[in-house]
Structure 1
Amino acid sequence: MKQAGAVLSVKNITKRFGGLVAVSNMSFDVAEHEMVGIIGPNGSGKTTMINMISGVFAPTDGRISLRGRLISDAAPQIIAREGVGRTFQLVRLLPGLSVLENVMAGAVYGHKRRWGREAEDFAHSVLERVGMDAMSHAPVSSLTYIDQKRVELARTLAGEPKVLLLDEWLAGLNPTELETGIELIHNLRNEGRTIVMVEHVMDAIRSLCDRCVVMSSGAKIADGTTDDVLSDQDVIRAYLGDDDA
């Protein structure tokens, strides 16, 4: 779906790994302040798509642009400095550093590249934003799983991204943690952030996303409002099989 004033544009993106086509001719735009869900069955190419937007993989074909500037040929650190921040399916923290130091790393290497006391003060403000400032001097090894996720999110936010990519950020949480996580993302959405989230938790998709892009076997099969997409027969068939569609 073409979005007016797109911040992020994905155009005819294909990714091949040898003879395997993981993503095939994907195109979608994300408008400023929009929250878009990328959904689909396991193995449909969602994380590969996120990896290409963030620069982990280079596309085999196609173009990805941020505010009209080509980023699909850039290294991950360059894309991060241009303003694309992400979290990972499996939390990736710097184990030898404290909570505060992990988040300061995001400020130092992020979009605005803050240093010294400025980076420290900004890291504290971001930790407060995610409810973790009281544990700023704790080692990350002492944290619960959801608190590790919060620190990783804070580190990403400390980079001040123009586009925030959440790759199954809610995965692995118990029901209480899930409620906390959804509320946190909802608050980020209400701040007007531009967010792309890969997610399997349909309650989160329904309550958070303005639009959904649905992938199946590497290709886009639907793109539209969340309500329309989740009632689409092709989408139901992709998730549940022909007998349930």
Structure 2
Amino acid sequence: MSSAVLLEVRKVVKRFGGLVAINGVSFDVHEHEVLGLIGPNGSGKTTMMNLISGALPATDGYIAMDDKLLTDLPTRKIARAGIARTFQLVKVIPSMTVLENVMAGAVFGHKKLWGHALAVYAERQLERVGLFGVSHKPTADLTYIDQKRVELARALASDPKVILLDEWLAGLNPTELQTGIELIRSLRDDGRTVILVEHVMDAIRSLCDRCVVMSTGNIIAQGTPAEVLADPQVIEAYLGEDYE
């Protein structure tokens, strides 16, 4: 893992009225690493992803990438800076074909392609995620799992430096899970940095270089998967006393 810091999150706060969803959170993300963002439901993980991607504005603190301040930038400019994401609940454009969905991802990224070159590039992203030969199908006709693959291909089409995966492995059967783990690992091998929100502990152990553990909007542990999964505070707040 490179020691260079790519993304900085510093004292970030997010309030919804009187509710503090993120409470002064700070952490670094290093180049070419897979960082696990884990914790119980309602701990603020998806809110943190929304803040990094610009879907929500921070109440206080800042987020920067490559020394460029991302806080307060519109989502499209954050995407052009090199951040892409998938969603906990799949968000595809059902009125478009599979290929058109993926091509749309490139429009907001920093790889500027048009026409035939864009179509070829989008087709390659579909092949990359295991969707060969379905490019002209309506996205609405695909299974839920294949729609997740389309969403990942669309994120990759923007050629991101950092890709945010919000429970992308959820709902996969054991065979698909192993394929998904290898796919995420290959993203790092390609030089991308991944922030992974996930509850599948096998994926956390095998993929993540480091983990940040959140609970009620606060960070309660940081370290390698082995370190945080053995932390008594993490076991109490997240894993349960029966965890081994």
Asked if TM exceeds 0.5, the reply is: yes
Structure 2 partner of 1:18: 17
The sequence identity of aligned pairs, in percent, is 62
CA distance in structure 1 between the aligned counterparts of 2:239 and 2:164, rounded to whole angstroms: 26
Normalised TM-score (structure 1)? 0.94
Q: Which of structure 1's runs of 4+ aligned residues deviate more than 6 A? A: 242-245
Residue 137 of structure 1, CA deviation:
1.1
How do residues 165-184 of structure 1 correspond to structure 2 at under 5 angstroms?
165-184=164-183
Structure 2 partner of 1:93: 92
Structure 1 partner of 2:193: 194
CA contact (8 A) 1:107 1:115 kept: no
Normalised TM-score (structure 2)? 0.95
CA contact (8 A) 1:108 1:119 kept: no
CA distance in structure 2 between the aligned counterparts of 1:85 and 1:103, rounded to whole angstroms: 13
Residue 191 of structure 1, CA deviation:
2.3
Q: Which runs of 5+ in 1 are unaligned?
A: none
State the Cα deviation string for residues 190-223 of structure 1 (Å, max 9, x = none). 3232000111111110010000000011000111
Structure 1 partner of 2:70: 71
State the number of aligned residues.
243
Cα distance change of structure 1 residues 244 and 131 upon mapping to structure 2, 3 Å threshold: closer
Structure 1 partner of 2:136: 137
Cα distance change of structure 1 residues 34 and 236 upon mapping to structure 2, 3 Å threshold: same
CA distance in structure 2 between the aligned counterparts of 1:17 and 1:158, rounded to whole angstroms: 33
CA distance in structure 2 between the aligned counterparts of 1:95 and 1:191, rounded to whole angstroms: 30
Cα distance change of structure 1 residues 226 and 139 upon mapping to structure 2, 3 Å threshold: same
What's the secondary structure of 1:91's corresponding residue?
Answer: coil
What's the secondary structure of 2:133's corresponding residue?
Answer: helix
Structure 1 partner of 2:160: 161
Q: Which runs of 5+ in 2 are unaligned?
A: none
CA distance in structure 2 between the aligned counterparts of 1:38 and 1:107, rounded to whole angstroms: 26
Structure 1 partner of 2:37: 38
Structure 1 partner of 2:124: 125
CA contact (8 A) 2:84 2:163 kept: yes
CA distance in structure 2 between the aligned counterparts of 1:50 and 1:22, rounded to whole angstroms: 12
Residue 241 of structure 1, CA deviation:
5.2
Structure 1 partner of 2:227: 228
CA distance in structure 2 between the aligned counterparts of 1:197 and 1:230, rounded to whole angstroms: 16
